Structure 1
Amino acid sequence: IGYRRDLIMKIEHSMAEETREHKEIVSKLKKHVKNFQTFLTEDYKIASAKVAKAEKLYAELVSKNAEFLGYVSKITILNNILFKLDAIRSILKTYRSYLMFVAPLSWRKLHDENLKHLPSNQYQSGEFVTDNDLVETLNIDKMIEVARRELQNPYPAYLYFKRPQQMMYLFRSMELQSREYLLQLSKTDVPYRLLRERIKQLKYTTQKEIEYFQYYIDLLNNEIGRETYNENHLKKNFFRILNTMFYDGVASPSTLKLKICIEYVYEQIFGRCEEGHQNLQDPMKILEVMYEDYNLRLDSLDFNIVNQARKDFFAQDLKTMTNAYKAQREL
């Protein structure tokens, strides 16, 4: 029973505390709700004031935009008017240049500002001058500046053609000249076609002849090339023979020594010095004949005389060798 009573007391105490906390929470919640309502009221007032101000500014902006669009439309109209005036100005300048160009040269010599500074022999080469100062279409400032300069310094106000009939007469003359040209062209059309056909045939014939001559030129070039090759081959063989066999037989060191030896023998035998022979055949024939005669004379000698000469030669040779040996011993 005591435990139950304590439990009931604890429950009642907890309920009392929770009731107190609940009342505090409810009072705080009411206070927060009241503050939030006050905040919403003040914020709504501020927002309403800002919306009213924004509506007023928007109305002013709409009025300014309408005014701006009015200005833009006026500027567009003025720009279109300026473009039209500039186009008319360009057309008038072109037409004036054309009238000045087709005028007689004698009159242009006195009044055309483009020809006054040129010598008289250059009048015939005058060109049709249009507006050299081209204006950019979208550059209004430059267009106005060019127009202002032209208005400040305008062209002279005189032209050669003052009535439309003058230009009509000019065009009529041009038509007559064109008709005459067409008549002459129709008359010369057939001869011109024949001439073109003849020129075509002549070109074809000339091309064939050129090909024909080119064939023979190539043939001659081949012949020349073959002859050049043969010439080089002969030169090669000639110099090979000249530098090998001919050199060995005529100008080699051994041949020169033989020639010197033959000349020396010839000089010793005949006892006189002659200029160099053109070839070795003549002195060699003479020496050969003399050698054969010498051999025949040797063959006809007595055997005792030959033995005596051999002994004398051996004795002389022995004496020479003995003297050489003694000289060597003395050294």
Structure 2
Amino acid sequence: IGYRRDLIMKIEQSVVEESVEYDRIIKKLKQHIKNFQKFLTEDYKKACAKVSKAEKVYTELVAKNSEFLAYVSTLTILNNILFKLDAIRSVLKTYRSYLVFVAPLSWRQQHDESLRGKVQSIQFESGKFVTDNDLVETLDIDNMVEAARVELRNPFPARLYFKRPEQMIYLFRTMELQSREYLTQLSKTDAPFRLLQDRIKQLKQATKQELDYFQYYIDGINHEIDRENYNEAHLQDKFFRILNETFYDSVASPSTLKLKICIEFVYEEVFGKCEEGHQSVKDPMKILEVMYEDFNLRLDSLDFKIV
């Protein structure tokens, strides 16, 4: 019974302690909830302030964007105006160059910058005018403005030969008459020109045939030359074979040389003693001398390459 009472007392004491701890935790929880509510309230106020500031910034951004679009629109309009002015300037320059180009040469030599100081013998001049493709290169605003500034500093003199539209109309009418005359002459010379082209074509074809014939003839001659060269080489080979064998044995062999030396010795011995009474062998030796000289002449008449 005492143990049970002690256990009940311990349990009651634990319950009291837990109740105190529970009350303390509840108090802290309420304080945390109060602090969290305060934090949420302050954070909401800050968020509302930031949202208000963001809306104000967005409104200002929209206003700036509208202002920027207005500037862009104005700049685009100004660029278009500049492009139109530059196109007008280019067209006027081209038209002025054309009017100066078609003016008489005597007037151009006095007023045209490109012909000033040149001789009177100038009759024709090649010119190049600005086209739409060339205008694409002037789309850079800075370059366009700089070029216009340079031209405005030193403008071309306002001197033109054609001052009335009738003068240009007369010029174009003259060109039209010249073109009509050219077409008339072209229609008259078209048939002879075509006939001449046909004749030239026939002549080229005949020339080609003649060239083919001559080429065939030349090939035949070359074939004959090759055959003659072959025969010549064959005969030369035979001749050298005869020369190196039979002719050598009969002319340049040691026995022939010995015979030649013997004949010369006998000749000298006989003719050296003719005054001593050996007149009977003089005539045969004369004949041998003639034959020997003829033999030497025949040897000398041979080709040097063959010998």
Give a deviation string over 1:280-320, Cα, whole Å, max 9, x none: 9xxxxxxxxxxxxxxxxxxxxxxxxxxxxxxxxxxxxxxxx
Where does residue 230 of structure 1 map in the other structure?
231
Task: Describe how 1:120-135 pairs up with structure 2 within 5 A.
Answer: 120-121=120-121, 123-130=122-129
- Between 209-218 and 77-86, the greater mean CA deviation after superposition: 209-218
Q: Does the aligned pair in 1 maintain the 2:100–2:160 contact within 8 Å?
A: yes
Give the Cα separation in 2 of the matches to 1:226 and 1:209. Answer: 25
Give a deviation string over 1:201-257, Cα, whole Å, max 9, x none: 222222111111111111112222222233333334444554566456644xxx3x4
Give the Cα separation in 2 of the matches to 1:268 and 1:204. Answer: 80
1:188 aligns to what SS in structure 2? helix
**Whose relative contact order is higher, 1 or 2, with alpha carbons under 8 Å and at least 6 apart?**
2
Q: Does the aligned pair in 1 maintain the 2:109–2:117 contact within 8 Å?
A: no
Do the aligned partners of residues 82 and 243 (structure 1) sit closer, same or farther apart at CA in structure 2, a change above 3 Å counting?
farther
- CA apart distance, 1:29: 2.1
- CA apart distance, 1:155: 0.9
Where does residue 105 of structure 1 map in the other structure?
105
Q: Does the aligned pair in 1 maintain the 2:250–2:256 contact within 8 Å?
A: no
Where does residue 80 of structure 1 map in the other structure?
80
Structure 1 residue ranges without an equivalent (≥5) = 281-331
Matched AA of 2:255: L
Do the aligned partners of residues 240 and 22 (structure 1) sit closer, same or farther apart at CA in structure 2, a change above 3 Å counting?
farther
Do the aligned partners of residues 271 and 196 (structure 1) sit closer, same or farther apart at CA in structure 2, a change above 3 Å counting?
closer
Give the Cα separation in 1 of the matches to 2:120 and 2:185. Answer: 33
- Between 13-22 and 193-202, the greater mean CA deviation after superposition: 13-22
2:138 aligns to what SS in structure 1? coil
Where does residue 255 of structure 2 map in the other structure?
258
Where does residue 193 of structure 1 map in the other structure?
194
Using structure 2 for the length normalisation, give the TM-score. Answer: 0.77
Give the Cα separation in 1 of the matches to 2:5 and 2:139. Answer: 105
- CA apart distance, 1:137: 2.7
Where does residue 215 of structure 1 map in the other structure?
216
**Count of residues paired in the alignment:** 275
Task: Describe how 1:147-186 pairs up with structure 2 within 5 A.
Answer: 147-186=148-187
Give the Cα separation in 1 of the matches to 2:260 and 2:216. Answer: 63
Where does residue 275 of structure 2 map in the other structure?
none
Do the aligned partners of residues 18 and 269 (structure 1) sit closer, same or farther apart at CA in structure 2, a change above 3 Å counting?
same
Matched AA of 1:258: S
Give a deviation string over 1:179-220, Cα, whole Å, max 9, x none: 111111112222222222222222222211111111111111
Where does residue 49 of structure 2 map in the other structure?
49
% identity of equivalent residues: 64
Do the aligned partners of residues 170 and 246 (structure 1) sit closer, same or farther apart at CA in structure 2, a change above 3 Å counting?
same
- CA apart distance, 1:85: 0.6
Where does residue 206 of structure 2 map in the other structure?
205
2:222 aligns to what SS in structure 1? helix
Where does residue 71 of structure 1 map in the other structure?
71
Matched AA of 1:32: H
Where does residue 274 of structure 2 map in the other structure?
none
**Alignment RMSD (CA, Å):** 3.2
Give the Cα separation in 2 of the matches to 1:208 and 1:268. Answer: 74
Give the Cα separation in 2 of the matches to 1:267 and 1:143. Answer: 114
Using structure 1 for the length normalisation, give the TM-score. Answer: 0.72
> Which one has the largest radius of gyration?
1
Do the aligned partners of residues 171 and 83 (structure 1) sit closer, same or farther apart at CA in structure 2, a change above 3 Å counting?
same
Give the Cα separation in 2 of the matches to 1:109 and 1:89. Answer: 25
- Between 264-273 and 110-119, the greater mean CA deviation after superposition: 264-273
Do the aligned partners of residues 38 and 199 (structure 1) sit closer, same or farther apart at CA in structure 2, a change above 3 Å counting?
same
